[in-house]
Amino acid sequence: MSPTQHGDHRASYADRSHPRLEELQAMVRDGRIDTLIVAITDMQGRLMGKRVQADAFLAGVIDHGAHFCTYLLGTDMEMNTPEGFSLMNWETGYGDWIAEPVWDTLRVLPWLEKTAMVLSDVYTEEDHSEIAISPRTILKRQIARAADHGLTIKAGSEFEYYVLKESWEESAKLGWGIPQRFGYYNEDYHLLQATKAEPLHRLLRNQMTEARVPIEFSKGEAAPGQHEVNIRYDHVLESADRSVIFKHGAKEIAYLNGWGITFMAKPDHTWTGSSGHLHMSTWDRDGQEPLTHDPDAGLPYGMSKQFSHFVAGMMALSRELAIFIAPNINSYKRFASLSWAPVNIVWGRDNRTTGFRLVGHGPALHVEDRFPGGDMNAYLTYAAMIGAGLHGIDQELQLVDEFKGNGYVAKGVPRMPRALYEAIAELERSEAAPEIFGQDVVDHYLNAARVEQETYDAMVHNWERERYLERS
């Protein structure tokens, strides 16, 4: 299905009566804001966009959105323009799409002087049709499917990252060797060790919260220089917006203050991987009553029947939808036994060795998906898990028995793919994925994954030279 067949023909979006837009106009007029960032999220989860000068903003320069080249949703990590994308290629001429500001997402960024940022949805210029392969749109459509089931989905993310001694520029000059971590012993919950980088962590907690990305906790994690933050849960679209803003903003804050930081899933094979754990719960249509708990259903830990189907769907499709959860070559190196990253698709009550961890009590009962890494694109990961959960409800999938004990040694259970090429094969054979996302979305992200795999396969790595240069 082409993007124009997903039509969303609404009235003009230059709604100058929106309260956040009116607030922005007032801040520009009185000099508090002189720069507006208009951003979209690309396939890799990065923010791309333009900076709008204050006077141009007041003059209406983005009343009809900001133009951007279609290639931004069809590149690899290096911004190359690979073949195989039907919506953007040299034959189509790489024209323009429109980034339409979503004024509810407007934020003042305290780490950038007099700067505000607004996230955008993506539309065609000709007939204002929403672009199906845009990550934020992919999530919005799963939210709409949930609403058709009478459900609101709420979610929250935990992000782990490493603080590095070298800046990114220094790492580049050193040939991207193993970076030096800020710290030299496991700092999980260590207050003293965490204090050494507290000037950065304090900035992240407070400046993010000021920018409406509410950080509840930060703590040392299970390796030298590794840290974790917990972002307050909310409606799943708001939580995805917070996630992409947090990763982007954390990198900016770190860079502007002389720190190095990375959300890479596995920067070195000897390091503990960095997660992007996803917490998810189902609520009624109005988002007022949680639907995860029903003490009369007779299910373990008071799970409701519907929620058990939802979790069963998440588990059933984790392998098939792995590309949307673990998008990069490096993502799969995090899935290592006894590493604090799960490998087996089993669930357990408050069990960090299982891929799915049931936590909370009563109305606070929810599931934690421990498979996503810090490198996830939250829009795609959240969308995949909502789609999988709804599949479980539609098919009335039965939740398998709880796994008790060490989930790493579970036998006879499905395992997450060991590498990107295996995840590609799983998505290629999936019947559920096109039903959830549409064939156009599946084909687009399959092509991106194949390009990444083929690029990696063509490279010669330091490990190969060390192993074979003399001895082969």
Answer whether 334's CB lies under 8 Å from 271's CB: no
Mean per-residue pLDDT for 369-388? Answer: 98
Answer whether 150's CB lies under 8 Å from 282's CB: no
Residue 16 clears pLDDT 80, i.e. is over it: no
CATH of domain 143-437: 3.30.590.10
Token pair, residue 433, equals: 């994925």
Residue 340 clears pLDDT 50, i.e. is over it: yes
Task: State whether the Cα torsion 41-318-384-287 is positive or negative.
Answer: negative
Max CA pair span of the chain: 71
For residue 111, CA distances in Å to 13, 23, 41, 120, 298 come to 29, 19, 20, 21, 50
Bridge partners (DSSP) listed for residue 439: none
User: How far is Cα 459 from Cα 447, in angstroms, rounded to an integer?
Assistant: 19
Helix (H) or strand (E) holding 38: strand 35-41
Mean per-residue pLDDT for 272-289? Answer: 97
Residue 432 has what pLDDT?
98
User: How far is Cα 467 from Cα 461, in angstroms, rounded to an integer?
Assistant: 10
Residue 173 clears pLDDT 90, i.e. is over it: no
Mean per-residue pLDDT for 81-101? Answer: 91
Q: Tell me the pLDDT band of 3, cut-offs 50, 70 and 90.
A: very low
Answer whether 413's CB lies under 8 Å from 356's CB: no
User: How far is Cα 22 from Cα 178, in angstroms, rounded to an integer?
Assistant: 48
| The model's pTM | 0.94
Residue keyed to tokens 């972002």: 231
CA 258 to chain centre: 25
Residue 287 has what pLDDT?
96
| 289: nearest Cα among 386, 152, 389 | 152
Give the model confidence (pLDDT) of 207-252 as tens digits.
Answer: 999 999 999 999 999 899 999 999 999 999 999 999 999 999 999 9
Residue 445 has what pLDDT?
98
| 89: nearest Cα among 63, 69, 105, 115 | 69
User: How far is Cα 276 from Cα 200, in angstroms, rounded to an integer?
Assistant: 20
Residue 290 has what pLDDT?
97
User: How far is Cα 70 from Cα 96, in angstroms, rounded to an integer?
Assistant: 5
User: How far is Cα 423 from Cα 323, in angstroms, rounded to an integer?
Assistant: 6
Residue 325 clears pLDDT 80, i.e. is over it: yes
Amino acid code (one letter) for 328: N
Residue 15 has what pLDDT?
56
Give the CA count within 13 Å in the CB-facing half-sphere of 162: 29
Helix (H) or strand (E) holding 422: helix 420-429
Token pair, residue 268, equals: 């070195």
User: How far is Cα 188 from Cα 224, in angstroms, rounded to an integer?
Assistant: 9
Helix (H) or strand (E) holding 313: helix 305-316
Mean per-residue pLDDT for 364-382? Answer: 98
Q: What is the mean pLDDT of the chain?
A: 93
Give the model confidence (pLDDT) of 175-218 as tens digits.
Answer: 888 888 998 888 888 999 889 999 999 999 999 999 999 999 99
Task: Quickly name the fold that domain 3-131 has.
Answer: Ubiquitin-like (UB roll) (3.10.20)
Phi, psi dihedrals of residue 261, rounded to the nearest 5°: -150, 145
Residue 111 clears pLDDT 90, i.e. is over it: yes
User: How far is Cα 359 from Cα 302, in angstroms, rounded to an integer?
Assistant: 11
Domain ranges of the chain: 3-131, 143-437
Give the model confidence (pLDDT) of 20-75 as tens digits.
Answer: 999 999 999 999 999 999 999 999 999 999 999 999 999 999 988 999 999 999 99
Task: State whether the Cα torsion 268-272-273-276 is positive or negative.
Answer: negative
Residue 7 clears pLDDT 60, i.e. is over it: no
Which residues neighbour 371 within 8 Å (Cβ) at sequence distance 6 or greater?
A: 318, 325, 326, 335, 342, 355, 416
Residue 12 has what pLDDT?
42
* DSSP structure class, residue 330: G
Residue 17 clears pLDDT 80, i.e. is over it: no
User: How far is Cα 79 from Cα 92, in angstroms, rounded to an integer?
Assistant: 18
User: How far is Cα 2 from Cα 234, in angstroms, rounded to an integer?
Assistant: 32
| 105: nearest Cα among 187, 158, 38 | 38
Radius of gyration of the chain (CA): 22
Token pair, residue 252, equals: 């900016």
Answer whether 34's CB lies under 8 Å from 366's CB: no
Residue 64 has what pLDDT?
87
Give the CA count within 13 Å in the CB-facing half-sphere of 71: 17
Residue 126 clears pLDDT 90, i.e. is over it: no
User: How far is Cα 470 from Cα 472, in angstroms, rounded to an integer?
Assistant: 6
